[in-house]
Amino acid sequence: MKEIIIGVNEEGKRLDGFLRSYLPNASKGFIYKMLRKKNITLNDKKADGLEKLKKEDSVKIFFSDDTLAKFKGTSDVNLSTIDVSNIDLSKYGTIDVIYENEHVLFASKPAGLLSQKAEAKDISINDWLIDHLLVNGSVTPESLDTYKPSICNRLDRNTSGMVICAKSLLGARKMNAMLSNRTLDKYYIAVVSGRISEASLLKGYLHKDADLNKVDIIKENPDNADYSYIETYFDPVRYNPDSDTTVLLVKLITGKPHQIRAHLSKTGHPIIGDGKYGGRKEKGINRQLLHSYKITFPADMPDELSDLSDKEFIAPLPLEFERYCSGGDLCLHGKLGD
């Protein structure tokens, strides 16, 4: 028998909907049959599945361990045996927590670390997040059985900087809505080839080739559903004549895969180290010099997230940027901090 105590991330859901997500390999008809037979109960009583769940409700599932694992689509691993020792990220560097509250966590991802797994054996920022929350007691192995915190914005493997993580369902809904509605502003630092003297708003239409994992951008509307409209704003901060590079503050207005990298390449100013989009190699640089630098929030955040109202959060620049940003002082305390 498995008992699930409903928490804040599940309350308000309808029982049948909760069970379909908890038992994804079970058919709708099978779930209703189990409810009729009282093989699934709500607060030790027969339920029809239409009930709205409340915090502290008890859902009991009277299946064998093997049957439960079958319908959950998982192995028979007991979540209570999860090892909460820290994941070894030494080859990537440290992950700094920028800010954390009950619902969200902002962290700085090192270059080289995946945002999400590509294969089962991969380690991602999501794995670090779960480990971090287990260690600090924000989640338990039992709570992970019904809701898993995750990141809301994905960065390319070799892009560093700010990631927005949702610790709760409320946090996930609010952050994803703000990202979708563009009410949360995201800024990046990019180091590009050549001299850029004026700010510019770039517009275009982006298409991704999934097989090549590469995007192309065209200026005119192709009237094709495979293309997405994009906007990228950039403002030059510093020109370095010795290396013929410009440091840019980039505001991501829309958020599509590889948008900044491809858009800057189309202007003839590819990002240093970005071989996929024509960026040149430089000694000591083994990845694209693109960093998710800052996020800013509006003044009217909802009550549950009122501590974020009118706030900005900055992920400090990695060492690779120092030679282009005068030791970081210009980027961290000058124009980019305005």
> What's the pLDDT at 89?
72
Q: Are 189 and 160 in contact (CB under 8 A)?
A: no
- How far apart (Å, rounded) are the C-alpha atoms in residues 310 and 241? 37
Q: What is the pTM of this model?
A: 0.81
Q: Detail the DSSP E strand segments found in 67-156.
A: 96-100, 104-109, 150-151
State how far the Cα of 83 lies from the Cα of 307, in Å rounded to an integer.
33
Q: Which residues pair with residue 170 across a beta bridge?
A: none
- pLDDT tens-digit map of 12-23: 899 999 999 899
Contact in structure between 336 and 293 (CB atoms under 8 Å): yes
Backbone phi, psi, residue 106, to 5°: -110, 130
Provide the 10 A C-beta neighbour count for residue 63: 18
Residue-level pLDDT at 331:
52
Enter the DSSP assignment of 259: H
| CA atoms within 13 Å, Cβ hemisphere of 333 | 4
Using only C-alpha atoms, the chain has a radius of gyration, in whole angstroms, of 23
At what angle are helices 15-22 and 28-36 packed, to 10 degrees? 120
Whether the Cβ atoms of residue 230 and residue 195 lie closer than 8 Å to each other: no
* pLDDT for residue 76: 39
Say if residues 168 and 184 touch (Cβ distance below 8 Å): no
Q: Is the dihedral of CA 28, 32, 35, 41 positive or negative?
A: positive
pLDDT at 8: 85
| Single-letter code of the amino acid located at 256 | K
List, in order of start, the domains of the chain with CATH numbers. 2-77 (3.10.290.10), 81-181 (3.30.2350.10), 185-337 (3.30.2350.10)
Burial 89-119 (b: 16+ CB within 10 A, else e): beebbebeebebeebbbbbbbbbebbbeeee
Residue numbers in the chain where pLDDT is lower than 50:
75-85, 327-330, 332-334, 336-338
3-state secondary structure of 174: helix
Between CA 62 and CA 71 the distance in angstroms is: 13
Q: Which two tokens stand for residue 128?
A: 């670090």
Residue entry with tokens 């800057």: 264
- Residue 78 is predicted with a pLDDT of 43
pLDDT digits (tens, 9 = 90+) for 84-118: 445 667 777 778 999 999 999 999 999 999 998 87
> Tens of pLDDT along 297-335?
999 999 999 999 999 999 999 999 988 986 444 454 445
Going by C-alpha positions, the residue among 149, 165, 190 that lies closest to residue 107 is 165
**pLDDT number for residue 272:** 97
Please state, in angstroms and as integers, the Cα–Cα distance from residue 286 to each residue in 111, 200, 283, 291, following that order: 10, 28, 8, 14
Amino acid at 218: I
